[in-house]
Amino acid sequence: MAKTVKFEIEKEVKHSIRYKEIPEDDSPPIVGSIYVQKWFAGDAKELVITIEKVESKPEASS
């Protein structure tokens, strides 16, 4: 299952920008805050990230 999470700029630090999650429907945050390097973020005020859970396969018994 994949989930798309929106972030808005919170503050700039030396080499990166901290973005805070914008929770949907009064639900608790999934990620919270993230730091993105300035060279990638550029002047983006918002980011959208898609997260996908990968189910682990059961180990084969010997």
Does residue 16 form part of some domain?
yes
Which pLDDT tens digit goes with each residue over 8-29?
A: 999 999 999 999 999 988 889 9
Q: Is the pLDDT of residue 57 over 90?
A: no
Q: What is the pLDDT of residue 62?
A: 64
Q: Following DSSP, what letter does each residue of 3-58 receive, concatenated?
A: EEEEEEEEEE-SSEEEEEEE-STTPPPSS-EEEEEHHHHTT-SEEEEEEE--PPPP
What total number of domains does the chain contain? 1
- Residue 33: pLDDT band (50, 70, 90) is very high
Average pLDDT over residues 19-48: 94
Is the residue at 17 inside a domain?
Answer: yes
**Considering the domain boundaries, does residue 62 fall inside one?**
no
| Residue range of the domain that includes 7 | 2-52
